Structure 1
Amino acid sequence: MRARKEKPIFRGLTIAAAGDLGGSAQWTDANISRWVGLREGKFVRAMGEDVTHVVCSGEEFKRKEGFVKLALKRPKTCQIVTLDWLEDSMLKQKRLDEEPYSHLRALKRERERERKRLMVIKGLEKAVKEVNPNLYHLYRDHTFFQYEVVMTRDDEGAGIQGERYVMSIFESNNAKPRLYWFIARFFKKKGDTLAKIHRPSHAPGVFAREFDLFEKFFQKKTGVPWAQRLVRAGTTDNSCFQYQPPTGGKPVGWVPAEYIPAEAPDVVMTDGVVSTTATTQPAVTAADTNDSETANTTAIPVAKPSHTPAPHPQPQPFLTPAPSPRADLAITTATTAAPSQGRDENHSFAGLSSTAAPTFTWPTPGTTPTMIDLTSTDTPVCAL
């Protein structure tokens, strides 16, 4: 009976075996050499530059001696695979991808598992005094200001050099609703890596509580309220900790309008938020214009500070009546004065009422439609 011709799946490959392959008794050097040769490959027991694959067991790879040591020096031209790659390739009659059978890939997976295990252990140890970094991250407000504030103190007269506090507010990663935690770390001197932890809350809580602790701690150490951190920066003596606001266009957080530094021309207010990334245009006075022109000034709205993270207010709705289907339509209004539609201090829109909408009435047959005196200031008019 004529033998079946095998596919040349190992053409151009030189395969070497390192140590005991750990397979069955049939995996002898003579059998492997014959099976590889039938598929136009080459099997050797001596390591050379022409070797493209080294087949070895897991124990042999961990020792990293002999053929394995030489193969590790040229990982781009020599693959270190298990015996399963050789066997599966011959059974499926095609050269399989070496990646799933690679000893190097298995080593990387093992190292990744060990790294994650150590990260979990380190996070649990850190959670005893601080916050577990696997469950929390630094909080950023809607201005993209990150709540990690550094305060420093240098008082040569008192022998203090390089003291610093790092205040942080952390936000939960997955917990809903979001939980927050205030932490302060104290470093005694410059270059000190061992910090003393101040965590007033034994458990995370709502933002209002933790932000209140944050503000009180900041004022206690600097002597300056958190809301006045920009206008009073650097105004206290050396016995207090000093806070330097971010510069270079970085977010500085929310600041009330009355506490914006007047000497900072590149700071503008937008909806109660301080931004250093925009520049204001120089003011135009009446003296710089012609006699027929007047100076226009635009008041910038300032929102009341809020201690809870909230989205920006929705745009104000407008009352727009529908067009009249008839030209002889008479228009009357149910009220004599339009309500105020201003924005209140809580980002809501006050003064809007359903009675403010104009009422349309059809004229009685045989009567003349009522005409409205547009020159009168007492009659409210709705333009169509």
Structure 2
Amino acid sequence: MASQKFKHKVIAIAGPPPDGLTIDKLKHWTEIHKGRFAHELDEHVTHLLCTKEQFKQRVPRVREGLKRKRLKIVDFDWFELSAGPGRVEKVAKYCHRHMLKKQEATRRERERIERGKFLAERFVNTNLYRVHYDDYNFRYQVSLVRENYLESGHRERHVLYLFESIARPPLFLFAAEYFRRNGDAQPAYFRQSDCSGLFDDEFGHFRRFFRAKTGIRWEDRVVLHGTMPASFFAYTPPNRGKPVGRNGLFSATMSRELNAALRGLPALAVGEQLGRDDEEVGTEAVGDAMLQEEGDYDKDDDKDDGVDWSLINAKDASDLESGGVEMEWSDSEDQDDLEILGDSPNTSSSDEEGKMGLCFELPSDDDDDKGVRMGDMAALDED
């Protein structure tokens, strides 16, 4: 019984066959095994035979064959071995597409290793470190943006990283990139430590850098989003259910409700506003509807969230816009002077111990400061 190895296969060649083979032999062996030999490369061809040199030179038929994803471009060795005794050889071993993919993968891997070695001197060796994820699956790679006053239409951008070593037990390393304008291909690099260290130390560098550039503690990145003047860098928290990370004073939902109250936005619109804030930088704080009169707690039953925030009435919006909102924290961190990749306004903190919360001090003609503390939940319950 005649062999049917090449049944349903239409074979063509990309160029002259190698020594020992002729077109007549190729056609004869193909037809013996119930296949069909095509002199032209048409839509019915299933296998295109070519040598390595023809594939590298991208002869016309090879170029045309690469445009057809289902066409198998194989070496002549596949045909010779399959036409002999035994079973048809697997195409993958002789497929030029597969060999090209392997070569590209090898080249990319070599470039990745070389780039990691290059970055090791100035930034972080990406062959040995990866970006850290916390147990909420939050990626510690955050962008801070600000309008570039020297170049209209451009933005400055810091990208903060907390790297984790691939080796175990893990070590950590904080580093940052700085882009002066849109489209910068080569950033400026910053690394606080010469070598990796414990999580608390490197995460502390991360938090202090974040506060120096945004004027906000890392714990308050959601609550105080969009409330700082345009001179600060702005951070936009993830939205639409994406994780916002650990170390928050409140849950993500409560933090967004507080942020909505501060910015005078409907609570349900905060998620949408966060999405739009990717296109904005450093919005100015406060407005008429930002705060409620003390003692008037959610008068509208439809919007009552069951929480009494005891917010002060902002009667004079113009004073607020001109003076801003002063934020004072009682559980302050040590402030390191970070003269890093550009200047940032200074922030101040209080050394009061034993309490934790956010105090909003509104401008007033009187010498006595007026404010009510948010975050001291015991005080809220007593009210």
TM-score by length of 2: 0.56
How do 1:247-258 and structure 2 match up within 5 A? 247-250=239-242, 251-256=244-249
Counterpart-to-counterpart distance in 1, 2:148 and 2:92: 61
Say if 1:57 and 1:82, in contact at 8 Å, map to a contact too. yes
Structure 2 residue runs of 5 or longer lacking an equivalent are 262-269, 272-303, 309-330, 332-383
Counterpart-to-counterpart distance in 1, 2:9 and 2:189: 61
Q: Is residue 110 from structure 1 mapped to residue 89 from structure 2 by the alignment?
A: no
Where does residue 35 of structure 1 map in the other structure? 29
Counterpart-to-counterpart distance in 2, 1:36 and 1:95: 12
Say if 1:246 and 1:252, in contact at 8 Å, map to a contact too. no
Say if 2:122 and 2:189, in contact at 8 Å, map to a contact too. yes
Counterpart-to-counterpart distance in 1, 2:160 and 2:51: 53
Deviation at 1:165, TM superposition (A): 2.3
Counterpart-to-counterpart distance in 2, 1:160 and 1:70: 45
Say if 2:223 and 2:258, in contact at 8 Å, map to a contact too. no
Where does residue 323 of structure 2 map in the other structure? none
TM-score by length of 1: 0.56
Where does residue 210 of structure 1 map in the other structure? 202
Give the counterpart letter for 2:180 in structure 1: K
Where does residue 180 of structure 1 map in the other structure? 172
Say if 2:73 and 2:96, in contact at 8 Å, map to a contact too. yes
Give the counterpart letter for 2:17 in structure 1: L
From the superposition, tell whether residues 137 and 95 of structure 1 become closer, same or farther in structure 2 (CA, over 3 Å): same
Deviation at 1:43, TM superposition (A): 4.1
How do 1:49-68 and structure 2 match up within 5 A? 50-68=44-62
Deviations 1:294-333, CA, capped at 9 Å, x for gaps = xxxxxxxxxx9xxxxxxxxxxxxxxxxxxxxxxxxxxxxx
Where does residue 22 of structure 1 map in the other structure? 18
Deviation at 1:98, TM superposition (A): 2.6
Say if 1:163 and 1:188, in contact at 8 Å, map to a contact too. yes
Where does residue 200 of structure 1 map in the other structure? 192
Where does residue 131 of structure 1 map in the other structure? 124
SS of equivalent residue, structure 2 residue 48: strand
Say if 1:7 and 1:93, in contact at 8 Å, map to a contact too. no
Where does residue 306 of structure 2 map in the other structure? 282
Where does residue 94 of structure 2 map in the other structure? 101
Counterpart-to-counterpart distance in 2, 1:115 and 1:194: 20
Deviation at 1:183, TM superposition (A): 1.0
Where does residue 159 of structure 2 map in the other structure? 166
Where does residue 144 of structure 1 map in the other structure? 137
Counterpart-to-counterpart distance in 2, 1:231 and 1:14: 67
Where does residue 81 of structure 1 map in the other structure? 74
Query: Which of 63, 84, 89 is equivalent to 1:91?
Result: 84
Counterpart-to-counterpart distance in 2, 1:219 and 1:265: 18
Deviations 1:220-246, CA, capped at 9 Å, x for gaps = 334444345455555655444444544
RMSD, matched Cα:
4.1
Say if 2:12 and 2:37, in contact at 8 Å, map to a contact too. yes
Deviations 1:347-378, CA, capped at 9 Å, x for gaps = xxxxxxxxxxxxxxxxxxxxxxxxxxxxxxxx
SS of equivalent residue, structure 1 residue 9: coil
Say if 2:14 and 2:50, in contact at 8 Å, map to a contact too. yes
From the superposition, tell whether residues 214 and 75 of structure 1 become closer, same or farther in structure 2 (CA, over 3 Å): closer
Say if 2:72 and 2:95, in contact at 8 Å, map to a contact too. yes
Counterpart-to-counterpart distance in 1, 2:17 and 2:123: 50
Where does residue 319 of structure 1 map in the other structure? none
From the superposition, tell whether residues 91 and 206 of structure 1 become closer, same or farther in structure 2 (CA, over 3 Å): same
Say if 2:7 and 2:35, in contact at 8 Å, map to a contact too. yes
Counterpart-to-counterpart distance in 1, 2:145 and 2:32: 76
Where does residue 291 of structure 1 map in the other structure? none
Counterpart-to-counterpart distance in 2, 1:110 and 1:166: 33
Deviations 1:122-144, CA, capped at 9 Å, x for gaps = 23223332223343222232343
Counterpart-to-counterpart distance in 2, 1:20 and 1:13: 20
SS of equivalent residue, structure 2 residue 178: strand
Counterpart-to-counterpart distance in 2, 1:73 and 1:235: 53
Deviations 1:20-47, CA, capped at 9 Å, x for gaps = 4334x3x334444443343334445555
Say if 1:143 and 1:254, in contact at 8 Å, map to a contact too. no
Say if 2:117 and 2:125, in contact at 8 Å, map to a contact too. yes
Counterpart-to-counterpart distance in 2, 1:104 and 1:19: 17
Counterpart-to-counterpart distance in 2, 1:262 and 1:75: 49
From the superposition, tell whether residues 38 and 228 of structure 1 become closer, same or farther in structure 2 (CA, over 3 Å): closer
Say if 1:155 and 1:238, in contact at 8 Å, map to a contact too. no
Structure 1 residue runs of 5 or longer lacking an equivalent are 268-275, 285-303, 305-384
Deviations 1:231-277, CA, capped at 9 Å, x for gaps = 555565544444454455442531346xx86962999xxxxxxxx99
Say if 1:130 and 1:197, in contact at 8 Å, map to a contact too. yes
From the superposition, tell whether residues 115 and 161 of structure 1 become closer, same or farther in structure 2 (CA, over 3 Å): closer
Q: Please say which structure displays the higher CA radius of gyration.
A: 1
SS of equivalent residue, structure 1 residue 255: coil
Counterpart-to-counterpart distance in 2, 1:18 and 1:155: 56
